Amino acid sequence: MTFSIVARAVDPGTGEPTWGVAVASKFLAVGSAVPAAVAGVGAIATQAEANVAYKGLALAHLDEGATASVALDRLLDEDERSEHRQVGIVDVDGNAASYTGPSCFDWAGGRTGRGYAIQGNILTGPEVVDAMEAAWLASSPDQPLQHRLLAALAAGDEAGGDSRGRQSAALLVVREDAGYGGNDDIAADLRVDDHAAPITELKRLLDLSDFYLTASTEAEKVQVTPEIEAELETYAAAQGAAGFRAWVGTENYEMRVAEDLSWIDRRILDIVRTPK
């Protein structure tokens, strides 16, 4: 009832390793059950008759130094209903393992390669995981992992996806110090729990996440001159704000404007300059 991709890549902006999971299903809130990842450890998707305990167990095995295949073997050996499970794991080094139990409902299967594990069950056919693999391999390493994962998920959906229909999707990506303000490792953690077009909605949320929760690049920064500062303050006053910094806080644009107002993201400047 679910299709997913688990992967490891190098972040193009920082050069640091990144792990993530993207998943979609005709199932309510699939993001609450399937994905788990820890920076510097690895990532897992547990699905079909999902054993959610696999998430903590697998990450513990990986943290102890087990490879993806060893961690997977341990999970299955300890589970008397392993024939009903489907799992994908990628470890700290990018080794990948995928398992589809013989009792999973058709169509069910997976694909693995260096740095990725793709799997799905109750799909329209093998073309779903084939399309996901092709999209992953065609994606540019210059893209952030979350965008590559979402592209693969969308390709699977377009190829047929879950044979029962669409309901939810989720995206989880981790990298050391990638979180808001650098205070945790969450690069992206987005869920669409119940929606007619969950992957389309997930894409919209990812675009918003990129805008609100990531810092401006040097190419996006515009130096604030005295003339621009006056323009910004005039705009803020027109919005009823007690200064431009107050307006920035109200709109949650802190990642896109320098605290000392020495620069502003060009997209924020466009917002200021676009008539409403």
Q: What pLDDT is stored for residue 162 in this prediction?
A: 95
Q: Is the pLDDT of residue 252 over 80?
A: yes
Rounded Cα distance between 5 and 18, Å, is 14
| Residue 14 structure tokens | 């920082």
Is residue 9 within 8 A of residue 42, CB to CB? The reply is: no
Q: Where are the domains of the chain?
A: 2-213, 218-273
| Residue 98 structure tokens | 């995928």
In tens, the pLDDT along 38-80 reads 999 999 999 999 999 999 999 999 999 999 999 999 999 999 9
Q: Is the pLDDT of residue 182 over 90?
A: no
What is the CB-side half-sphere exposure of residue 228 using CA atoms within 13 A?
Answer: 16
- Segment 30-40 shows an average pLDDT of 98
Q: Is the pLDDT of residue 32 over 90?
A: yes
Assigned fold of 2-213: Glutamine Phosphoribosylpyrophosphate, subunit 1, domain 1 (3.60.20)
Q: What pLDDT is stored for residue 181 in this prediction?
A: 76
